[in-house]
């Protein structure tokens, strides 16, 4: 699902457009925080039915809140805890259709019903994770996962 006011193609075409927009945004910028901030903002504008889009950055054995769009969030998440910590620990995308069924889910926003977390890996090092929450169940599908993994791959080259 996407913001129909801005993107009028198929879901895949719209994602391809946002991937090009991200690449243009980060192409000549080397500052990690600037690129993560723009990346969070771009996704927040692109996606509909989401209530939080942002990044947690790796710091030792935990994730620390980075640039985001949405309500205030948990600041520190240990590896292995919640959806973000699980994604970081296993270095794999975690897509949760109903967060209330995920063991150890961390409820930073009670409105969240589903979530997707994509690890950001550069040169085999975990940089952090992209975290997106939705106030509806079953918000994220295989296409979202595939395209958000491509989004993170583009971003990883510039952070």
Q: Write the CATH number for 94.
A: 3.30.450.40
Q: Per the domain annotation, does 5 fall within a domain? A: no
- Binned at pLDDT 50, 70 and 90, residue 8 comes out as confident
Considering the chain, what is the average pLDDT of its residues? 92
| Number of domains into which the chain is organized | 1
Q: Per the domain annotation, does 73 fall within a domain? A: yes
Q: Per the domain annotation, does 6 fall within a domain? A: no
Q: Per the domain annotation, does 46 fall within a domain? A: yes
Please state, in angstroms and rounded to a whole number, the distance separating the CA atoms of residues 127 and 34.
Answer: 15
- Provide the residue range defining the domain that includes 53: 11-156
Q: How large a percentage of the chain has pLDDT more than 90?
A: 85
Q: Is the pLDDT of residue 110 over 80?
A: no
Q: Look at residue 5 in the predicted model and tell me its pLDDT.
A: 57
Q: Look at residue 104 in the predicted model and tell me its pLDDT.
A: 75
Q: Is the pLDDT of residue 3 over 50?
A: no
Reading phi first (left if > 0) and then psi (alpha if -120 to 50, else beta), residue 118 is in: beta
Q: Look at residue 2 in the predicted model and tell me its pLDDT.
A: 45
Please state, in angstroms and rounded to a whole number, the distance separating the CA atoms of residues 56 and 112.
Answer: 17
Per-residue pLDDT tens digits for 62-80: 999 999 999 999 999 999 9
Q: Per the domain annotation, does 2 fall within a domain? A: no
């Amino acid at each position: 699902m996407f913001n129909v006011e801005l993107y009028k193609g198929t879901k895949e075409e719209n994602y391809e457009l946002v991937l090009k927009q991200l690449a243009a945004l980060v192409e000549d910028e080397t500052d990690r925080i600037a690129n993560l901030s723009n990346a969070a903002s771009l996704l927040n504008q692109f996606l509909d039915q989401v209530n939080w889009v942002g990044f947690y950055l790796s710091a030792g054995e935990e994730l620390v809140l980075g640039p985001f769009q949405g309500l205030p969030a948990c600041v520190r998440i240990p590896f292995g805890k919640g959806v973000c910590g699980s994604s970081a620990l296993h270095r794999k995308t975690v897509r949760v259709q109903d967060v209330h069924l995920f063991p150890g889910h961390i409820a930073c926003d009670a409105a969240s019903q589903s979530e997707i977390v994509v690890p950001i890996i550069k040169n085999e090092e975990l940089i952090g994770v992209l975290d997106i929450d939705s106030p509806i169940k079953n918000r994220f599908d295989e296409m979202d996962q595939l395209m958000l993994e491509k989004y993170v791959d583009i971003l990883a080259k510039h952070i």
